């Protein structure tokens, strides 16, 4: 045991404590090995996935939404509802179709009538480029979408290409209707319970691939 005077000094002098620990590490090889093993083991602890590694895969044929961490599956949801008139690469306002392509979470509304709403950055640059070539939008509309995209803000939601596309719950809607039909205006819908589970992975910038 340490003499009382040593204990007293250690309690009141951090530098003295540092010296004692340093001397112990220098003297006892097994302590150094123990600390080294501990530091190495920390590298293998499973930490929460970075938002940069997380992306969302929406399979509109199988009606599934899968949370991906790189190439690994973190969580999967079945019986996802899409637009009532299916999907399209050429979405237009009011067609009630889900746009296909790669998008990103642009904003979040926690007080949506659909319970929780995770908005996509639709229409994005890729969508606008195709629409311009096909004369579905004007040069002015294209420029507005591109300018907003370049500075990282939500593209206009009132263009001929439509808007307010996102991933959301069903709110007070009928779960049986959700189970049996594609009922949205173009969004991806899950049950309220599913959207709560999914919400932990979604934040602005997360990529969403719809195919």
Res. 29 pLDDT band, cuts 50 70 90: low
Q: What is the mean pLDDT of residues 60-89?
A: 97
CATH number of domain containing 111? 2.40.440.10
d(CA 83, CA 188): 7
Distances (CA, A) of 68 to 64, 87, 130, 202, 209: 12, 22, 28, 11, 11
In a domain, 9, yes or no: yes
Q: What is the pLDDT of residue 22?
A: 56
Same structural domain for residues 100 and 62?
yes
The answer to whether 58 and 188 are in contact (CB under 8 A) is yes
Query: With left for phi above 0 and alpha for psi between -120 and 50, is residue 89 left, alpha or beta?
Result: alpha
| CB contact set of 88 (below 8 Å; sequence gap of 6+) | 95, 97, 98, 99, 100
Same structural domain for residues 92 and 185?
yes
pLDDT at 6 over 50: no
How many Cβ atoms from other residues are within 10 Å of residue 208's Cβ? Answer: 23
Residues of the domain holding 14: 4-42
Q: What is the mean pLDDT of residues 16-28?
A: 53
| Beta strand pairing call for 188-189 and 166-168 | parallel
Q: What is the pLDDT of residue 167?
A: 98
């Amino acid at each position: 045991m340490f003499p009382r005077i040593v204990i007293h000094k250690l309690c009141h002098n951090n530098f003295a404590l540092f010296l004692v620990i340093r001397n112990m590490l220098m003297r006892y090889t097994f302590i150094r090995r123990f600390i080294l093993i501990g530091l190495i083991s920390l590298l293998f602890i499973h930490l929460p996935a970075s938002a940069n590694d997380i992306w969302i895969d929406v399979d509109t044929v199988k009606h599934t939404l899968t949370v991906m961490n790189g190439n690994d599956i973190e969580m999967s949801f079945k019986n996802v509802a899409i637009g009532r008139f299916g999907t399209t690469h050429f979405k237009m306002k009011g067609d009630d179709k889900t746009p296909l392509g790669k998008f990103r979470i642009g904003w979040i509304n926690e007080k949506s009538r659909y319970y929780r709403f995770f908005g996509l950055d639709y229409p994005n640059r890729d969508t606008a480029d195709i629409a311009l070539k096909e004369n579905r939008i004007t040069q002015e509309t294209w420029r507005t979408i591109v300018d907003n995209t370049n500075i990282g803000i939500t593209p206009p939601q009132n263009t001929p290409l439509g808007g307010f596309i996102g991933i959301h719950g069903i709110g007070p809607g009928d779960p049986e209707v959700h189970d049996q039909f594609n009922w949205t205006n173009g969004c991806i819908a899950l049950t309220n319970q599913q959207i709560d589970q999914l919400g932990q992975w979604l934040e602005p910038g997360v990529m969403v691939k719809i195919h």
